[in-house]
Amino acid sequence: MNLLVSTDWLAAELGKSDLRVIDATMFLPQHGRQARTEFETAHIPGAVFFDIDEVSDTSSPLPHMLPSAEKFASRMQALGLGDGSRIVVYDNSPLRSAARVWWMLTLFGAHQVAILDGGFEKWQAEGRAVESGKPVVRHRHFTVWADKTMVRDMKQMTDNLRTKAEQVVDARSEGRFLGTEPEPRPELRRGHIPGSKSLPYNRLFNEDGTYKSKDELADLFEAAGIDLSQPTVGTCGSGVTSACLAFAAALLGQPNMAIYDGSWSEWGASPNTPIVTGA
């Protein structure tokens, strides 16, 4: 199974015993939409709903931080996701949140995880089958494991200011990166991590929500000043849209981009972290 699968491919594979489909849609408060409600109204047949806010470290003051490996495994088992599953993730969100769940599943040890190119919007536009209601699932075993080399914390990001061992690429809008646009969370300072580069996640996609070609993606990283053959960390507002950058890097044969999980929700809230505004 490829990292990125088409709607044609998924339609042909639906119903196979080892295939699992996840709706990873999430919204921010300003979107005025409810992801779970929309899922129960219509979703790809057989899909289960992955609640990014709930499958997180709910004791953290930061939004949807990674949960423990044990909590993640427990939630995946309850969703009927287990060892040996081929998993396809999709969303219907302007945040392209499927990439966050792809990253989480990969970090926690799932071996075959793909994203549906174009997501639910493309699926519906093509008139494909949908179903409603809550799915009935059978618990399966999900082995507890975590690859923490894929995640960075504030200390590592602060140390990197000195060592410059890793490139840092920011998936937020250019205005937020420059500090000319307000942050969605008004308590946060504006600007970006010193030395980081800007590559807004929405530039990775075509108008229909599909990922751009590999050549186009490579050109975007190059234009942003990022050499994907070198160690790279993605950051964004709260660790969701930076996963799009990590997924694009994986499509280009570089699967080891880490993500700063706290991202700007943590960095911009601290009174002690250095911040740069402007280009």
In a domain, 279, yes or no: no
Confidence category of residue 279, pLDDT binned at 50, 70, 90: confident
Q: So what's the pLDDT on residue 129?
A: 97
The pair of structure tokens assigned to 258 is: 């880490």
Shared domain for 77 and 186, answered yes or no, is no
Is 204 part of a structural domain of the chain?
yes
* 136 and 242 share one domain: no
235 falls within a domain: yes
Question: In 130-168, which positions are buried (b, 16+ CB within 10 angstroms) versus exposed (e)?
Answer: eeeeebeeeebebeeebeeebbbebeebeebeeeeebbb
Query: Given phi > 0 = left and psi -120 to 50 = alpha, else beta, which region is 197?
Result: beta
Domain end among 83, 115, 146: 146
Angle between the 242-251 and 98-107 helix axes, to the nearest 10 degrees?
Answer: 70
E-assigned strand segments in the chain: 4-5, 19-23, 48-49, 86-90, 112-116, 151-152, 167-170, 197-198, 232-235, 258-260
Q: Is residue 26 part of a domain?
A: yes
Give 144's pLDDT tier (boundaries 50, 70, 90). Answer: confident
Shared-domain flag, residues 9 and 142: yes
Same domain, 142 and 11: yes
CATH number at residue 52: 3.40.250.10
End position of a domain, from candidates 128, 146, 164: 146
Which burial class, exposed, middle or buried, applies to 88 when counting CB atoms under 10 A from its CB (0-12, 13-18, 19+)? buried
Mean pLDDT of the region 28-35: 91
Residue 139 has pLDDT above 90, yes or no: no
Instruction: Give the structural domain span for 117.
Output: 4-146
Whether 182 is in a domain gets the answer yes
In this structure, is residue 278 part of a structural domain?
no
Residues 24 and 156 placed together within one structural domain of the fold: no
Catalytic residue among 236, 240, 251, 258: 236
- What is the Cα–Cα distance from 57 to 36, expressed in whole angstroms? 19
Cα separation, 67 vs 27, in Å, equals: 19
d(CA 171, CA 115): 19
Residue 143 DSSP class: -
Do residues 63 and 265 make contact, with C-beta atoms less than 8 angstroms apart? yes
- Overall residue count recorded for the chain in this entry: 279
Amino acid identity, position 72: F
Boundary-marking domain end, from 146, 174, 195: 146
- Asked whether 217 and 248 are in contact (CB, 8 A), the reply is yes
Q: Can you give the pLDDT at residue 206?
A: 98
Q: Are residues 46 and 133 in the same domain?
A: yes
**184 confidence band (pLDDT: 50, 70, 90):** confident
- Per DSSP, the three-state class of 175 is helix
Q: Using CA of residue 182, residue 187, residue 189, residue 193, what is the dihedral sign?
A: negative
244 part of the active site = no
Is residue 272 situated within a structural domain? no
Which pLDDT band, with edges at 50, 70 and 90, does 186 fall under?
A: confident
User: Are residue 142 and residue 175 in the same domain, yes or no?
Assistant: no
Assign 185 a pLDDT band (cuts: 50, 70, 90).
confident
Residues 57 and 136 in one domain: yes
pTM for this model (two decimals): 0.97
Q: State whether 133 and 221 are in the same domain.
A: no
Position 74 confidence tier, pLDDT thresholds 50, 70, 90: very high
Of 248 and 148, the structure prediction assigns the larger pLDDT to: 248
Q: For residues 16 and 101, state if they share a domain.
A: yes
Q: Per DSSP, what are the bridge partners of residue 167? A: 232
Same domain membership, residue 156 and residue 140: no
Q: How many domains does the chain have?
A: 2
Q: Is residue 82 part of a domain?
A: yes
- Are 31 and 153 within one domain? no
